[in-house]
Amino acid sequence: MTQSVNTITDLLSIAGSKRFLDVPAMEDLGFAEAVHFPFLALVGQQEMKLALLLTILNPHIDGVLLIGPRGTGKTTAVRGLAPLLPDVDRSRCPYGCLPDDIETGGIDAVCPDCAKRYGEGQPLTFTDRVHLVELPLNARLDDVIGSLSDQGTPHVRMRIRRGILSRADLNILYADEVNLLGDDIVNAMLDASAQGVYRVHRGSQVATYRSRFTLIGSMNPEEGKLRPQMLDRFGLRVLVRGLIDSRERHEAYRRALAYRRNPSMFLQQYSDFTDQIRLELQTTRERLAETSIPRRTREAGLELINRLGIHSLRAEWTLFEAARAYTVADGRKRVRIGDLGVVAPMALRMRRSPFMQTFLETQAIEDDDILTTLNALGE
């Protein structure tokens, strides 16, 4: 590559406009191989791509919800993230014990096996790539939170098998058609995402698992609404529309055709950009703590939220964390007011509640009536 780039935003822009060479059709040998369409080969949809990358960069954003009609690339984009995901320090223990637990709570804060390993000087963690864990629409509650293992024998105690929420710890949890999930599944996800841990009771067996995941969801609003409690768990909300420009639509068709002809060769054409962005995401995450929000920028963001009449404190949390991620992705350390403008639509849309606004106004009228009546009695 001849161009010199230093930031994630530069790489994203250049990769999206990259021209690809036509590829020959691949002979079908009948083998099944999961080769997902490259994230960087998606045409257009800049807001969606930016939101997903910012969420990888800064897990404190609390995830992304992609909302749009069928066939607009929502699922394709999320599955294409896998090669871009960075590394994390992961616990070697099925219960998620970490050295930090011992530092804050003593040796009794970890399980006996980890306490023994720690005493022997063995590491409790290992470096691993963040995984994309998918939550199937037909998943049962036992699949999600865990169930008794079927490997028990008269001489071996039954153990609780880890569920999807436990396997999603320090990973990306993707829920496609999230608005169609059953209430029991949604309730389990809400509890786990709020606490970062959850407990499973199965008869006499009890297990507590960590579940600190980044939640990504996608939905088609014409198929049903999303519960307000669940919507509130997504930091960024992206409206994914179909491509309007005929040239972009034709380019999307050409890329899809090339991918179907020979997925591996098509993927290879974007491998350099993929490797660069993954490396940049890894190093940029480490610089995130260095970013700051000047007072003037912070006050502008708070005033924006106040004028929009948004009550939830998650609004400024998401706005500022997304702005910090965008700033560091652009190679800077101080957030500008213009950075707020880039992320504000994603961070603040769908946070105002007409119902709550009417409810609060009605209650204000009632409170005035109470005070007026009370004052009249005292005259």
Catalytic positions are 314
For the chain, helix (H) and strand (E) counts, in that order, are 16, 11
Which residues have C-beta within 8 Å of that of residue 42, sequence separation ≥ 6? 16, 49, 73, 76, 77, 80, 252
User: Which H helix or E strand runs over 129?
Assistant: strand 125-129
Burial class, 331, CB count within 10 angstroms (exposed 0-12 / middle 13-18 / buried 19+): middle
Which residues have C-beta within 8 Å of that of residue 360, sequence separation ≥ 6? none
Closest CA to 175 of 223, 133, 217, 236: 217
CA trace torsion 54, 57, 62, 67 (10° rounding): 30
In which residue are the tokens 């198929």 written? 223
Q: How many CB atoms lie within 10 A of CB 52?
A: 24
Strands 160-162 and 146-148: what pairing? antiparallel
Angle formed at CA 74 by CA 353 and CA 313, multiple of 5 degrees: 30
Closest CA to 207 of 266, 129, 137, 149: 149
Cα(182)–Cα(143) distance, integer angstroms: 13
Q: What is the sign of the dihedral through the CA atoms of 224, 226, 325 and 36?
A: negative
Cα(342)–Cα(328) distance, integer angstroms: 13
φ/ψ (deg, to 5) at 131: -105, 155
